[in-house]
Amino acid sequence: MPYNPDDLMVQCEGCTDWFHPACIEMTTEDAKKLEHFFCGSCSSESQKLQNSLSASRHPDTKEDGKNYNSL
């Protein structure tokens, strides 16, 4: 598709790629209201990172206080 400066696009704050609202299943009105935007790839990478950080903060410790991760 040729570049059209009149087409609204939103930029991902993670990867800095640009997206047409319709291509990411968003209305133009919703896109205009955005303060921050992360594309699907960056959102899933961020979620994976948050999950791994959360898991590393909570060792697999049983009620008896022993850590069973090293077994």
pTM over 0.75: no
CA dihedral 6, 12, 17, 19 (to 10 degrees): -40
Q: Quick one: pLDDT at residue 10?
A: 95
Q: Quick one: pLDDT at residue 65?
A: 57
Contact 45, 14 (CB under 8 A): yes
Taking the C-alpha atoms of residue 33 and residue 66, their distance in angstroms, rounded to an integer, is 50
Closest to 21 measured CA to CA, from 3, 8, 34, 33? 8
Q: Quick one: pLDDT at residue 41?
A: 92
Q: Quick one: pLDDT at residue 14?
A: 93
What CATH number labels 10-51?
3.30.40.10
39 CB neighbour count, 10 Å cutoff: 19
Q: Quick one: pLDDT at residue 2?
A: 56
Q: Quick one: pLDDT at residue 61?
A: 52
- Residues of the chain with pLDDT below 50 are none
